Amino acid sequence: MAALLLLVLAAIWLANKYSSTAPVAAESVKPQSLQDSPIEHQPAENAYTVHDMLGSEKPITATDNDGQLIIMPRPDWALDGNLLVHFSQLEQAAKQGDTEAAYVLGMNLHNCYFAPEDDTHLAERLEQAYQFNDNGVAVAENAERYDFCFGVDKQQRNQFYAYLAMAADNGYVPAQEAIALITPEQYMHAAGYAKLERNDYVAKRSSFVQQQVDFLSSAAQHGSIKALIKLSKLHYAQTVGQDGRLQAYAFNQMIMELTDDTELYNRYNWFQQRAQSVFTPEEIEQAMAMSDQWLSIIQANGTLYLHNNE
């Protein structure tokens, strides 16, 4: 009886929505450029040279500055109203080289990637929320996200990675950070690679993971503490690179040097203290040399992206 009541309420909500706002067919308003030639962005081969290997090749050349790191704010990518209202303008700006527009569009499409696609999907989400008895929070979130994404079709939503990569390829640090949060499974599904043969699937997935590391390395060398934290975790888990835990030690040291957050500093200082008994003095010296090298690059690049600065 309770489930029936919920479905009735959902039907009333949907009826009110459609009575106040005339629905727009997604296909009829899709920008012509996406109809004719959808953006496809695949991980580039060796887009960045990765410098997170101990004893690696000569680091990238950076421009000297006066020694002061400029704290860089990340743009507020959240939009008001309905995404479709903003879509064409952001798409055009992105294709003309506006990296922030590409980032904002990519982030909002990624948000819509998880939104209910139609009325049936929304009703299923509302029923699931009721079953979990979340006091209406998930119901409100699903309804709000559905309204925001209404009219943006599945093909457009799947373009989130293409726009983020467009900005990341141009060195836009917030986009490089955002790509690191995309799971390989999300990328493979959105890019249409989910049903590839096993060997091709593994190759595409590995290429994407490597690109994530490359983007993280670039972001970290421009002072992104978020990127340093992610690199530390990846290397500590020994999922990328060589000498993983020793490299994690180097990244932890950089985090401590750059953060202004006492809690974050203490957490990584604790990690460092525990590691003292694991590595030899020679290994620690090697890790510290890498840390000093990267800190010099960060200092020369002159920017700092705090981990809690949205």
Q: Which of residues 181 and 256 earns the better pLDDT score?
A: 256
pLDDT at 310: 56
Q: What is the mean pLDDT of residues 244-250?
A: 93
pLDDT of 250: 96
pLDDT (0 to 100) of residue 135? 63
Structure confidence at residue 1 as a pLDDT band (50, 70, 90) = very low
Is 5 a residue whose pLDDT tops 80?
no
* Residue bearing the bigger pLDDT, 23 or 230: 230
**Measured distance CA(243)–CA(196) in Å, rounded:** 32
Report the pLDDT averaged over residues 55-82: 71
pLDDT bin (cut points 50, 70, 90) of residue 41 is low
Q: What are the residue boundaries of the structural domains of the chain, listed by start?
A: 221-310
Distance CA 190, CA 308 (A): 29
pLDDT digits (tens, 9 = 90+) for 102-135: 999 999 999 999 898 888 888 887 777 777 666 6
* Residues 6-15: tens digit of each pLDDT: 444 444 444 4
More confident residue, 25 or 120: 120
pLDDT at 252 (0 to 100): 97
Tell me what the mean pLDDT of segment 244-264 comes to: 95
Q: Are 301 and 223 in contact (CB under 8 A)?
A: yes
- The structure's pTM equals 0.77
- Per-residue pLDDT, averaged over 42-60, amounts to 45
Q: Which residues 6+ apart lie within 8 Å of 89 measured at CB?
A: none
pLDDT band at 42 (very low <50, low <70, confident <90, very high): low
Residues of the chain with pLDDT > 70, as a percent, come to 76
Q: What are 261-308's pLDDT values in tens digits?
A: 999 999 999 999 999 888 999 999 999 999 999 999 999 999 999 987
